[in-house]
Amino acid sequence: MGQREFDEIASLFRPLTFGADEALDLLDDAALVRQVPGQDLVVTKDAIVQGVHALATEGPAALAQRLLRVNLSDLAAKGATPYAALLAVAWPESWTARDRAAFAAGLGEDLQRYGVLLLGGDTVSTPGPFQASLTLLGRVPAGRMVRRSGGRSGQVLLVSGTIGDGWLGLQAARGDGDFPPEDRVWLAGRYHRPDPRTDLSVQIRTECSAAADVSDGLLADAGHVALASELGCTIALDQMPLSAPARRWLDRQPDRTKALLSLASGGDDYEVVAAADAAAAQRLTRAVTAPGRGWTALGVLTDTPGLAADVDGRRVPVERTGWSHLG
Amino acid sequence: MGQREFDEIASLFRPLTFGADEALDLLDDAALVRQVPGQDLVVTKDAIVQGVHALATEGPAALAQRLLRVNLSDLAAKGATPYAALLAVAWPESWTARDRAAFAAGLGEDLQRYGVLLLGGDTVSTPGPFQASLTLLGRVPAGRMVRRSGGRSGQVLLVSGTIGDGWLGLQAARGDGDFPPEDRVWLAGRYHRPDPRTDLSVQIRTECSAAADVSDGLLADAGHVALASELGCTIALDQMPLSAPARRWLDRQPDRTKALLSLASGGDDYEVVAAADAAAAQRLTRAVTAPGRGWTALGVLTDTPGLAADVDGRRVPVERTGWSHLG
């Protein structure tokens, strides 16, 4: 480790350990994760490459926050409470000390927001684009991690929040698509700052028997749950929860079914799709929440393999390969 | 996740879970790490970039094995037993399906060799060079992780194996330096395939109160242990354990002190430097091992801050910045 790496770790990243002794001040070869009696650890790891998983125009702080948040979304869907992170970051030659500091500051802001401490990791240089991976550790009561495979036939499929904003938001952020100016700003914000549903982890591990985060698209991820559970599913696309900007966009589309299918397969929602028994589903959908943040029942797990989608009670063909390769 | 990523994860990486149910077939959002009563978890994460941390000529299998082994070295120095890994890999556009398969095969071979199972991770594409990070989890009896900071004044400093082969091996692998052909081949092999001292983890956690892996160079890493322990250290460079090829190289150098300093600060050794009480140090140095694999006592932790190096009983100046920035 050279002088610059050493100093930068001390100045940029050590504060992000929030003084936790298990991080060993980021000075040791490894970090310690103590056992907590009665709890299992849940571990996830996602990587991003600037220009591939994030727009090339996205700034250092936004990249840091996207990286943390996509991992938090994975953890939330498992019913786990976030605990700590390890970061590997490859600085491109074009990044200045100020860019690196902005990355660390953006990360630190979000670590604090979500109650995660930095335990360790690695910083390297790359002649290529910025890229980074984050390993996120969370905790669940022993044996209570919610898997994709826990669905049972007849259970209700629910989705949290609103669907389609991420996909519309990517278009909005790129300057593509047809949006009123306020909707463009709002949707682009939804794309730029995914809002992982860490607030739902307790509900998920209490009420749901299977869950996945919605990152590939609602249809694909509902399909993953059904397939992992060795079941099929039916989803009512017209029941899909939409934000006001997404609803306005939908109203402008000539082909409503095609537009609903696009919203349901666009991805980048970072909501949760889950399976629950009828009584639990009712508790979830009736829980009081902020607008656009609650649970919506929109489907059912079935014994018939594959994915079926309905619009206003009529079956519609699903051609999306994001799903079909699993069907 | 697209079709190719899905299929490749299934074909290349799922076998590397060795059927462990906590990997959830690499199909879920996260992996499960069950608590083991009486054990703590130790976590480390290192990244490599082709052409930066590994020669641009290094093949996919060698890159995979280097990535795993540098992490295993960190874990061994903490006295931890390896358990599981998460991998984030960025495939460059120039890599063929065959290259990716060679990477997975090389990784799988070493995972099996060291008893590590793949728990999860992420595969992405990059327009830049190959890079990857590995998060490695290990286990130690609760409270027994060996830190850098556990050294006590008067303790013996020991190093495992031989020192300097990695630094000489890098020159040998590049075609630089002056080596007899057989020594060049042997040393290049030492560089290409680091040999992490997982075999020493039980000794380390039983006999040593502080330890670090030797990756930055013996002087730097011994210095890290001293500094973290709020002590100084003195090292007898003439006591440094050398392989036969390194000894022959040393004999060819006009300035023996300068050459010893180079070997002691070259890095990439992936051995362990540790501090132990005199009786424990004696047990370690007297233990029966294969040639070039045992422990050598070569220094002492002192109350005087900083690093001192002796050659044949005479103090020599240490100018190496790898150390000095910590001094």
CB contact under 8 A, B131 and A126: yes
Q: CATH 3.30.1330.10 region(s) of chain A?
A: 3-141
Residue B51's pLDDT is: 85
**SS3 category, B191:** helix
Residue B6's pLDDT is: 78
Give the C-alpha separation, A151 to A229, whole Å. 5
Reading chain A (327 residues) residue by residue, the pLDDT tens digits are: 666 777 888 899 999 999 999 998 888 989 999 888 999 999 999 999 998 877 777 899 999 999 999 999 999 999 999 999 999 999 999 999 999 999 999 999 999 999 999 999 999 999 999 999 999 999 999 999 999 999 999 999 999 999 999 999 999 999 999 999 999 999 999 998 899 999 999 999 999 999 999 999 999 999 999 999 999 999 999 999 999 999 999 999 999 999 999 999 998 999 999 999 999 999 999 999 998 999 999 999 999 999 999 999 999 999 864 433 332
**SS3 category, A192:** helix
Q: CATH 3.90.650.10 region(s) of chain A?
A: 148-324
Q: How many CB atoms lie within 10 A of CB A252?
A: 10
If residue A37 lies in a helix (H) or strand (E), which one and from where to where? none
Chain B: residue whose CA lies nearest to A119: B43
Higher pLDDT, B20 or B321: B20
Chain A: residue whose CA lies nearest to B325: A3
Give the C-alpha separation, A301 to A9, whole Å. 48
Residue B239's pLDDT is: 98
pLDDT band at B326 (very low <50, low <70, confident <90, very high): very low
Best CA proximity match to B41, nearest among A75, A111, A120:
A120
Residue A2's pLDDT is: 67
**Smallest CA–CA separation between B165 and chain A, in Å?**
19
**Smallest CA–CA separation between B23 and chain A, in Å?**
10
B42 close to A (CB below 8 A): yes
Give the C-alpha separation, B322 to B220, whole Å. 6
Pairing type for strands B271-276 and B156-160 reads antiparallel
Domain boundaries A3-141, CATH class: alpha beta
pLDDT at B83 over 90: yes
Give the C-alpha separation, A145 to B108, whole Å. 27
**Smallest CA–CA separation between A309 and chain B, in Å?**
21
Best CA proximity match to A221, nearest among A265, A279, A178:
A265
pLDDT at B60 over 50: yes
Name the percent of chain A in helix, strand, coil, to the closest 5. Answer: 40, 25, 30
Chain B: residue whose CA lies nearest to A4: B325
CB contact under 8 A, A46 and B88: yes
* pTM for the structure as a whole: 0.92
Which residues are bridge partners to A99 per DSSP? none
- Contact list in A for residue B51 (CB cut-off 8 A) is 127
Mean pLDDT across B12-23: 92
Residue B144's pLDDT is: 95
Chain A: residue whose CA lies nearest to B135: A135
Domain boundaries A148-324, CATH class: alpha beta
Residue B1's pLDDT is: 64
CB contact under 8 A, B42 and A31: yes
A320 close to B (CB below 8 A): no
**Smallest CA–CA separation between A86 and chain B, in Å?**
7
Burial B112-136 (b: 16+ CB within 10 A, else e): eebebbbbbbbbbbbebbbbbbbbb
Higher pLDDT, B149 or B5: B149
pLDDT at B49 over 70: yes
How confident is the model over B275-312, as pLDDT tens digits?
999 999 999 999 999 989 999 999 999 999 999 999 99
Residue A54's pLDDT is: 75
Residue B2's pLDDT is: 67
